[in-house]
Chains A and B, each alone.
Chain A
Amino acid sequence: MTAPAAHAAGVSAPPAAGVSAPHAAGVSAPKAAGVSAPHPAGAPALQAEGLALKLGALRAVDGVSLALHAGQWVAIVGPNGAGKSTLLSLLAGLRKPDAGRVWLQGRDLATLPAPARARALSWLSQQGEAEGDIAAHDVVRLGRLPRHGLFGTPDAADEAAVAQALDETEATPFAARRLNELSGGERQRVLLARALAVQAPVLLLDEPTTHLDAPHQRALLRGLAARARNGAAVAAVLHDLTLALAADRVLVMDRGRIVADGSPADAALRAALVQVFEQAFSIEAVQLAGRARWAVVPHL
């Protein structure tokens, strides 16, 4: 952890962990929002301070600060164009912000070598870009590239990680088929397996449930929760708000800013969620197998 040394040197360092991000950054949020979900103690796995990026005249990300902790899975939600995917790509170090910084496990992402970043952080893009005739399990093997690099030889541990990721997404039965010959849902499971095969401590997933049917959505979310329980920091952009409300913590974005951040059990967070989506739905409490859940009911 380099933060204290960085402070001493006058270098910008991650702010103190455990501070509710919107308040720390002075981001305006609804009054009731900003109640952070409880998260494990210790330094954040990923932390951002004052991130901003303009795309043309649009402030796609406008002064976002947040901290993602190991052991917690976070859903990022918001209307179309709210800046969710752009924020995720900034957090993954794939875009250079106009302002602000990101620290990955306490190290400045801007100066972290790309292979080290790739080993510590796995990013899944929105589906649509992946295109090719290589076999599904060769796609998943790419998840091990950060470990052995372009010139290394994959070993038994790599093959075990690939097989495990294929099993986890139930993609093993079609692992030998070409990527281009798979259905949208099958392809998404292969791409998810690729992201999981990295076995990175930080997982950033952009719309991972796209094209997945209900059983596979359930399997994915259970898998993400299990990964978090095993010590990973997981953040996923989700459009299905009922699924998002099953997360440990929800970040609500609107017009490039985080306008609410907290546990789904927080009434203020749910109110903010309804507000940014223009009261297009209500959120109802349901009891499922003796546990409280939140269900989104559209106003039709």
Chain B
Amino acid sequence: MKATLDTPHTRAARAWPEATLLGLGLAALALLLGVAGLAAGSEGWSLAWLHGSQDEWSLVTAIRAPRTVGALLTGGLLGLAGAIAQGLFRNPLADPYLLGSAAGAGLGVVLVLAAGGVLGHYIGLATADWLLRVGLVGAAFVGAVVGVALTLMLARGTARPIVLLLAGVVVGIVLSSISELITLVSPEALRGKQIFMLGTTSFLGWSSCVVLGVVLVPAAALAWRYARALDALVLGEASAASLGLQLPRVRLLLVALMALATGTAVAQAGLVAFVGLVAPHIVRRLVVVTHGPLLLLSAAAGAVLLLAADVAARSVIAPQELPVGVLTAVLGGLYLLVLLRRRQLQA
């Protein structure tokens, strides 16, 4: 019997219309719904286009639109990084924050906040505040990259994935401890660090969207190009090597992509938990695909997930807002619990 072979690309293509419709629907909702008090000083829900005033229009274009686009792009980066991490470490529970990027970004933020507090005494609070706004994003990114670089150095490269994971855990613990120590000495950094650790899309502007987009598009394209190596890793390290792959080089490139995607997302929106872990899971449950489509669909799922969480975070206790990271942590944790329970029942 000859097989009629379905390709992963055709299977993935069938999933796109639903995902796109869902994303567009959520984006429209995110633009329409919001706490008007953020920009116009009034309270309660607003349907900006129905009111049609100039203030309301500005609120949509200056605040809600970049926040919506930014949430989509941040979620996309986290979904992409999660799919890379899970393929690279051959572990469906691998998280893009595993290699020390989260703790590194946290330390970067704490260092800048503490330095801002000290500088405020000498250069005036307004100047210090401006420096902080610019510096936090950069520090978080540099911190994330330094965290991953330290992990790579400790593991002496990417040849042994288990050692790499353990090195990531060690670097995470050490950098987090240093952050704690600094917040003890400089308590004014604690509040800012808390906001960062909870994750929020509130500060995403058009400039953030440009940065996120500039990283997401080439990262996704490059990851797609190397996706067959992740497919080969399904067979195991030795079998993948037997297929003629230069595994050390490919692994290093994919780790760098993961660090770049995670670092950029964390720098713009703080530590948004579970999106990177859950997005590839959802895609794998819905379609049977290879890593090429999986990476792109995970980015799409991450985008939709984070936007949905953001809309919910703005709505649950309106007019107050929940930090979106808190919501993703709760929902993501529940999702994993259900998944674990289902697997136990199947076993």
Contacts and interface: CB of A to CB of B under 8 A. Distances in A.
B244 A94 contact: no
A173 B229 CA distance: 26
B235 A163 contact: no
Contacts of B1: 167, 172-173
A43 interface: no
A117 interface: yes
Interface stretch (A66-74, A125-133, A246-254): A125-133
A114 B289 contact: no
A131 B241 CA distance: 16
B288 A135 contact: yes
A133 B244 contact: no
A114 B247 CA distance: 11
A293 interface: no
Contacts of B242: 92, 94, 118, 121-123, 125
A129 B238 contact: yes
A138 B90 CA distance: 16
B157 interface: no
Interface in B122-147: none
A173 B3 CA distance: 8
Contacts of A149: 244
B3 A94 contact: no
A142 B288 contact: no
B2 interface: yes
A142 B226 contact: no
Q: Do most interface residues of chain B lie in helix, strand or loop, or is the interface mixed?
A: loop
Nearest to A198: B243
A125 B238 contact: yes
A74 B156 CA distance: 40
A145 B244 contact: yes
Contacts of B6: 135, 137, 176
Contact of B225 (A94, A135, A145, A151): A151
Nearest to A160: B2
A274 B221 CA distance: 58
Given A125-B238, A150-B226, A167 B3 contact: yes
Contact of B232 (A125, A145, A166): A145
B236 A130 contact: yes
B3 A166 contact: yes
Contacts of A175: 3, 5
When A and B form their complex, which 6 residue pairs have the shortest distance between CB atoms, in order from nearest? A129-B236, A118-B244, A132-B234, A115-B244, A123-B242, A114-B244
9 contacts: A114-B245, A132-B90, A134-B288, A135-B8, A137-B3, A138-B231, A173-B1, A176-B6, A177-B288
